[in-house]
Amino acid sequence: MDSVENLNEQNDQEIIETEAGEGAEHLTLKVGTNITVRRLDKYLAGRLSNFSRTMLQKLIDEQAVSINGKFVKPSSKISTGDTIDVILPPPPAKEYIPEDIPLNIIYEDDDILVINKQANLIVHPARGYKKGTLVNALAFHQKKLSKGSEDFRPGIVHRLDRNTTGCLVVAKNETAHWRLAKQFEDRKTKKTYMAIVHGTPEPDADCINKPLAVHPVIRERFAVRPEIGKEAITFYENIEKFRGYTLVKVNIKTGRTHQIRVHMSYLKHPIIGDEMYGGRFVYPWQIEDKKAEPQEPLINRPALHAWQLEITHPTTMQRMMFEAPWAEDMKNILAELRKYRKISR
């Protein structure tokens, strides 16, 4: 079994392999009497050496691991006789293909590259997306990138959702990578987003401190889950109000998957166009208060833009702030709101 090594202690566990869907691998581990560690993530890291502890913790958080049929945390304790079920992801592609995908470069030097990521661009290859990603574009445009902390993610220090536009920094060498990664981990970067939401959040500025985890039913989504969620902190400020809509500036202290989208939905003010979290498409006839007619929406994705990114340069140690111009669809819907729905600035 290629994805499983370090499993020679047969008196410590029994391994049963079953199907888990296309490309995935389902393992059932029976914990024996000779266990040397009790913490779940450490135990799995010792048994599944092809997977990093970080990756295993992510699988546990995403409920791909259970103990005796119950979903648990990475720090959960195991005991002799426990049955651990693990759904392992398929191995990544053995190579990534360079593709001539346009990149909007904001800044570049020998250590870093900062781009204004366009919509409909996934950051790195994943199941079902081996081509057409930012990594494929980087492989074409850049001669040298850092290897990355995980396979087939060269230069990738942080991510933006597929349809979120804006500032994203890429590492061009190993030193830049680990220094930038540590800044993100230690929360020493500053990330400012702009979003257009339904309604008007109250109060005009606030902090949303609600833990997030995988949705209990819909695995592709995340949700506020105080009992098992990870800390997620979002600060928002109403910048410009319109009838029925608001332009909101958002700073995030943490960087959880879909964090801004989930938190704004939690406030009952989802982002325009974010159908996954309750947002709706907005059409010109709606903004103009006219009779409904067949039209394309003003924006066909979540109206969310990573506007500014502030980091410490990994070599010069100078603080740097980058700003990404808005995509045309965001500018267009804001112009329409200002024209037909203006309240205050």
**What does the alpha-carbon distance between residue 313 and residue 77 come to, in Å, rounded to a whole number?**
40
- Residue 204 falls in the annotated catalytic set: no
- The CATH architecture of the domain made up of 105-185 is 2-Layer Sandwich (3.30)
Q: Which token pair is 342?
A: 């203006």
Same fold, 105-185 and 190-344: yes
pLDDT 10s digits, 115-128 = 999 999 988 766 55
CA-based angle 118:121:124, to the nearest 5? Answer: 130
**What does the alpha-carbon distance between residue 47 and residue 18 come to, in Å, rounded to a whole number?**
17
pTM: 0.73
| E strand or H helix at 249 | strand 245-252
Predicted local distance difference test score (pLDDT) of residue 53: 85
What is the maximal distance between C-alpha atoms in the chain? 73
Predicted local distance difference test score (pLDDT) of residue 155: 80
First to last CA, the chain: 62
Nearest to 307 by CA among 106, 171, 134: 106
Every domain of the chain and the residues it spans: 13-88, 105-185, 190-344
Residue 198, beta-bridge partner list: 245
Among residues 12, 161, 274, 329, which one is catalytic?
161
Predicted local distance difference test score (pLDDT) of residue 139: 86
Amino acid at 257: T
Residue with tokens 């997306």: 129
Residue 88, beta-bridge partner list: 25
Nearest to 165 by CA among 220, 104, 232: 104
pLDDT 10s digits, 230-241 = 999 999 999 999
Nearest to 28 by CA among 52, 44, 51, 11: 44
Residues of the chain predicted below pLDDT 50:
1-23, 93
CATH classification of 190-344, choosing from 3.40.50.300, 3.30.360.10, 2.60.120.340, 3.30.2350.10? 3.30.2350.10
Q: Assign 322 to helix, strand or coil.
A: strand
pLDDT 10s digits, 288-316 = 999 888 999 999 999 999 999 999 999 99
For the structural domain made of 13-88, what CATH number should be given? 3.10.290.10
Amino acid at 270: P
